[in-house]
Amino acid sequence: MKKLLLLATALALPASVWADTIVFRNGDRLSGTITEMSGGKIKIKSAVAGEVVVDSVDVATFSTDGLIDLQLVDGTIVKQKVDAVGDGKIAFVGPSGQQELPLGSLKGINPRTDWHGSIRAGAQLVRGNTDTDDAYIAFDINRRDPNDRYTAGGAFNWARQRAAGEDDKVTTTENWTVFGKWDHFYTEKLYGFASIRVDHDRIADLEYRIAPALGLGYQWHESPVWNFWTEAGIAYVYEKYEDPEPADPNFDDDKGNVSARLAYHYDRKLNDKVFIFHNLEFFPSLEDAGDFFFVTDIGLRTALTSRMFAELKAEWRHDSEPAADALHNDMRYIVSLGWTF
């Protein structure tokens, strides 16, 4: 009888007793499941309010119903059940017994250390007065460890068209890019990077451009809501062009020079559905002030389901010294569907 009474009492308790709870400095409470903390923002999923992001400076303490990964400022990750203490502190049972930890000593909660990213694709087939085929596919993967960040990706664009009265189709677009970057954080904000990008553009007569680089970056802000970083370093840019037709004995089909690499990235989650981003990567030669190239884009991504999204992106590429008869600028406007993983 006593066991039945205890069970009935437990079932009668409100659901919030068994949930994670955030206690704010003004005394308010929010119950649900704490899913993440990064950049000073704590994300909690509530049955009533949905997913909520709160600033940790407004939090007095919090507790969890079960084990949770706590990332300390030195990068150490401990898996513990958290008890609320108050006064800007939490408590958990460590190797030496009950320990209290100031919230300011907490760098993250459930840090993502697995690989994740997205795949995007778009295509168009037109028949009639215009006969055109085009395709676009791109991917990106990234991983964030306590002291390291890994990023890689690539994109491929292709199109062909048959002019009126012609039998054969002519390729009008054929280019691809692959890139990779490793960031190692020396402090919470300052990091060193090693990166490489390789470009090919058949229509611009660019067989390939290889640009490895080393330098420093600064993470101005990092959170589930928005991120911003800047980078500066040294690169070596090697370009190989296709020979012009007819042949030009004065044309230099390859060149290499030491360049600077200046870059930044910005993204922001406007709401649960809409995400915007902007990137710039600039390579000015340190040997010839008139020789440089840059790539910049701006885009908007809208969630269609929990995994699927639609993306609209504008991309501008500029080469100050392109191949013979090639243009300096390429503008691309890309609409695609994607899948996150």
What domains, with CATH codes, occur in the chain?
2-109 (no CATH), 116-340 (2.40.160.40)
| 21 or 272: which leads in pLDDT | 21
- In this predicted structure, the answer to whether residue 10 has a pLDDT above a threshold of 90 is no
- In this predicted structure, the answer to whether residue 11 has a pLDDT above a threshold of 60 is no
- In this predicted structure, the answer to whether residue 238 has a pLDDT above a threshold of 90 is yes
Burial class (CB in 10 A: 0-12, 13-18, 19+), 251: exposed
Beta bridge partners, 293, equal 283, 319
- In this predicted structure, the answer to whether residue 65 has a pLDDT above a threshold of 60 is yes
- Compute the distance between CA of residue 60 and CA of residue 90 in angstroms, rounded to an integer: 9
- In this predicted structure, the answer to whether residue 96 has a pLDDT above a threshold of 70 is no
- Compute the distance between CA of residue 128 and CA of residue 192 in angstroms, rounded to an integer: 54
Burial class (CB in 10 A: 0-12, 13-18, 19+), 309: buried
Which of these, 263, 256, 255, lies nearest to 232 by C-alpha position?
263
Which of these, 188, 184, 186, lies nearest to 73 by C-alpha position?
188
User: How confident is the model over 193-221, as a mean pLDDT?
Assistant: 95
Residue-wise pLDDT tens digits, 195-205: 999 999 998 98
Contacting residues for 28 by C-beta, under 8 A, at least 6 apart: none
User: How confident is the model over 260-279, as a mean pLDDT?
Assistant: 95
pTM of the predicted model as reported, rounded to 2 decimal places: 0.72
User: How confident is the model over 139-159, as a mean pLDDT?
Assistant: 93
Q: How confident is the model at residue 14 (pLDDT cuts 50, 70, 90)?
A: very low
**Burial call 201-213: b when 16+ CB within 10 Å, e when fewer:** bebbbbbebebbb
Query: Which pLDDT score, from 0 to 100, does residue 100 have?
Result: 87
| 21 or 18: which leads in pLDDT | 21
Look up tokens 């009492």; give the residue.
9
- SS3 state at 3: helix
| 34 or 113: which leads in pLDDT | 34
